[in-house]
């Protein structure tokens, strides 16, 4: 079960990074090009947010129930804080991704409430862009590259 969930979590990472990049690029063009907010722009936001939610569900399942890494960290949390790898997964990765998903949801809600196309694009671009940067910072690149 652990291996399957980890593979799903890893695969979703790449899908999310691609979906976020496409969404951010479209919103950037819409904002700077004074384009009207269209149904496709809304759908991109829904897809990105939904992918983040799915990733959160797989991640929280790994974190709380099946990961031997977090299990080891929770056995002696004080010692885990002194170990960079355990601390990364037990605290840093989890906290940054939680912040990123919160920003995505806030951006989604605020963009739906915005009254003009420019403010919809700008709001989404701001919140999704910050979330994207946090996501990039929270990815365990040492495991991806190795």
Query: DSSP letter string over 2-57?
Result: HHHHHHHHHHHHHHHHHHHHHHHHHHHHHHHTTPPP-HHHHHHHHHHHHHHHHHHH
Q: Band of the pLDDT at 99, cuts 50, 70, 90?
A: very high
- pTM, two decimal places: 0.93
Give the model's pLDDT for residue 146. Answer: 58
Q: What percent of the chain has pLDDT over 70?
A: 99
* Calpha distance 44→23 (Å, rounded): 6
Q: Band of the pLDDT at 92, cuts 50, 70, 90?
A: very high
Q: Band of the pLDDT at 27, cuts 50, 70, 90?
A: very high
Q: Band of the pLDDT at 143, cuts 50, 70, 90?
A: confident
Q: How many alpha carbons lie under 13 Å from residue 27 in its C-beta half-sphere?
A: 26
pLDDT by residue (tens digit) across 38-72? 999 999 999 999 999 999 999 999 999 999 999 99
Decide if pLDDT at 82 tops 80: yes
């Amino acid at each position: 079960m652990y291996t399957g969930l980890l593979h799903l979590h890893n695969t979703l990472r790449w899908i999310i990074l691609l979906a976020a990049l496409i969404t951010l690029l479209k919103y950037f063009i819409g904002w700077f090009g004074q384009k009207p907010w269209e149904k496709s722009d809304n759908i991109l936001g829904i897809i990105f947010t939904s992918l983040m939610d799915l990733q959160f569900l797989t991640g929280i399942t790994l974190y709380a129930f099946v990961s031997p890494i977090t299990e080891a960290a929770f056995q002696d949390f004080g010692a885990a804080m002194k170990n960079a790898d355990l601390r990364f997964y037990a605290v840093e990765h989890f906290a940054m991704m939680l912040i990123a998903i919160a920003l995505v949801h806030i951006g989604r809600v605020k963009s739906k409430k915005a009254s003009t196309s420019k403010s919809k694009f700008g709001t989404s671009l701001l919140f999704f862009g910050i979330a994207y940067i946090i996501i990039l910072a929270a990815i365990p690149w040492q495991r991806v590259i190795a």
